[in-house]
């Protein structure tokens, strides 16, 4: 099978290997495990810092410029490059046996239009964003969702989305993502919440992920007299701001910034933590929520995308608004600490749910989609 991937994620080349964003690479390695050849159409340059890993599969890469509409200059550049981008997407779709789109994104939007010309070719689409029809999203995202949901324009296609939503077309299929193998499932004991409480934040240090909210939650808990620490994993534009706040308020002994680190280190951190603070404003499938649950680390997470399904509407953790305050989050933690039986019941339910979704199951489901 000639497998084609079209993605906004950059494919970088260094020392004889192709690299890209690590979680994306891990998933693509599973998609390409049983295909003959793999071609990726994507940008091949990226100026920002990126946590990368190398592809295991041999790749052919068709390089296209990144598309951006954030300024007049970027729009002009995009218009100049557009014919070449359309041509490369079209010719690679023509040669492929199976077309796989990774969206939402600007390149993904163009690919949504081009795939209309190949109604007989089998296609899969991984929609990594929020599929919730009620959510406010950019016009380009809504347009991609409309094209993919329209079975007249998009034929012979399975669109994989996070969460179950009402009134969807027959080609929209609820799906999931996995992080761990079956052999990694451990028999975890009861986590003691009568001593030091370990909070954890994992994710991009951006406004949308609200890392400062986690810091201020810890601050409020300490003001209430709780023995609590916060470990934070990730990097981003808000990192220095968080770092400065910690230094100014002399919190170095209770908040620890680890930056981007290995999967093994984060896994150990989940195992040692009691609560995940994940108050994100926008999500697709929040892997960190599923990962924390896997290790009996109870999530306090914003009610976006499919998070309500993941937490069984509050039976496997607590759902909050993305606009929640630090005092409100600290009150939730304090309530769990005052009711350890509820905490222990919920972490067991969370682990039991998350441990169903292993990499083996994920690969088996992908194999069915490509059959």
* Confidence band, pLDDT 50/70/90 cuts, at residue 74: confident
Burial annotation 32-46 (CB, 10 A radius, 16+ → b, else e): beebebbbbbbbbeb
More confidently predicted of 306 and 68: 306
Task: Please write the tens of the pLDDT for every residue from 264-293.
Answer: 999 999 999 999 999 999 877 889 999 999
- Examine the domain organization and report whether 142 and 212 are in the same domain: no
pLDDT at 51 over 90: no
For residue range 326-358, what is the model confidence (pLDDT) as tens digits?
Answer: 999 999 999 999 999 999 999 999 999 999 999
Query: Distance between CA atoms of 27 and 178, rounded to whole angstroms?
Result: 9
Distance in angstroms (rounded) separating the CA atoms of residues 75 and 80: 9
Residues 160 and 215 in one domain: no
Strand partners, 292: none
- The reply to whether 153 and 244 lie within a common domain is no
Strand partners, 6: 41, 101
Tell me the pLDDT of the chain averaged across its residues: 95
DSSP 76: H
Please check whether residues 209 and 134 belong to one and the same domain. no
Residues 343 and 365 in one domain: no
Are residue 255 and residue 138 in the same domain, yes or no? no
39 lies in the same domain as 150: yes
Do 160 and 197 share a structural domain?
no
Q: State the CATH number of the domain containing residue 338.
A: 3.40.50.2000
> What stretch of H or E contains 348?
helix 340-354
The residue range of the domain holding 296 is 186-354
Whether 366 shows a pLDDT value over 80: the answer reads yes
Cα–Cα distance for residue pair 363/346, rounded to 1 Å: 28
Q: CA-to-CA distance for 222 and 152, rounded, in angstroms?
A: 58
Taking only the tens place, the pLDDT of each residue in 148-172 is: 999 999 999 999 999 999 999 999 9
**Do 259 and 239 fall into the same domain?**
yes
Shared domain check, 72 and 108? yes
Say how many domains are in the chain: 2
199 and 160 in one domain?
no
Global model pTM greater than 0.85: yes
């Amino acid at each position: 099978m000639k497998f084609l991937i079209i993605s906004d994620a950059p494919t970088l080349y260094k020392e004889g290997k192709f690299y890209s964003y690590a979680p994306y690479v891990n998933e693509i390695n599973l998609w390409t495990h049983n295909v003959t050849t793999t071609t990726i159409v994507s940008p091949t340059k990226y100026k920002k810092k990126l946590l990368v890993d190398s592809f295991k599969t041999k790749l052919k890469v068709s390089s296209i410029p990144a598309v951006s509409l954030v300024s007049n200059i970027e729009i002009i550049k995009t218009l100049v490059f557009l014919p070449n981008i359309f041509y490369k997407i079209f010719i690679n779709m023509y040669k492929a046996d199976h077309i796989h789109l990774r969206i939402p994104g600007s390149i993904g939007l163009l690919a949504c239009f081009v795939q209309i010309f190949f109604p007989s070719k089998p296609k899969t689409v991984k929609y990594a964003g929020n599929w919730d029809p009620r959510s406010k999203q950019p016009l380009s995202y809504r347009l991609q969702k409309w094209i993919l949901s329209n079975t007249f324009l998009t034929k012979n296609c399975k669109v994989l989305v996070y969460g179950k939503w009402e009134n969807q077309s027959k080609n929209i299929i609820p799906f999931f993502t996995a992080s761990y193998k079956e052999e990694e499932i451990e028999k975890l004991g009861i986590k003691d919440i009568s001593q030091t409480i370990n909070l954890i934040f994992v994710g991009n240090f951006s406004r949308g992920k609200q890392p400062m909210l986690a810091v201020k939650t810890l601050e409020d808990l300490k003001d209430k007299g709780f023995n609590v620490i916060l470990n934070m994993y990730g990097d981003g534009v808000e990192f220095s701001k968080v770092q400065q706040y910690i230094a100014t308020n002399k919190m170095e002994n209770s908040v620890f910034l680890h930056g981007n680190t290995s999967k093994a280190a984060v896994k150990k951190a989940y195992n040692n933590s009691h609560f995940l603070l994940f108050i994100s404003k926008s999500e697709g499938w929040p892997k960190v929520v599923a990962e924390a649950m896997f290790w009996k680390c109870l999530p306090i997470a914003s009610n976006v995308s499919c998070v309500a399904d993941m937490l069984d509407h509050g039976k496997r953790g607590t759902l909050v608004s993305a606009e929640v305050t630090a005092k409100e989050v600290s009150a939730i933690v304090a309530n769990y600490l005052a009711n350890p039986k509820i905490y222990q019941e919920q972490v067991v339910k969370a682990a039991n749910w998350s441990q169903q979704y292993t990499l083996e199951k994920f690969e088996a489901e992908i194999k069915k989609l490509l059959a």
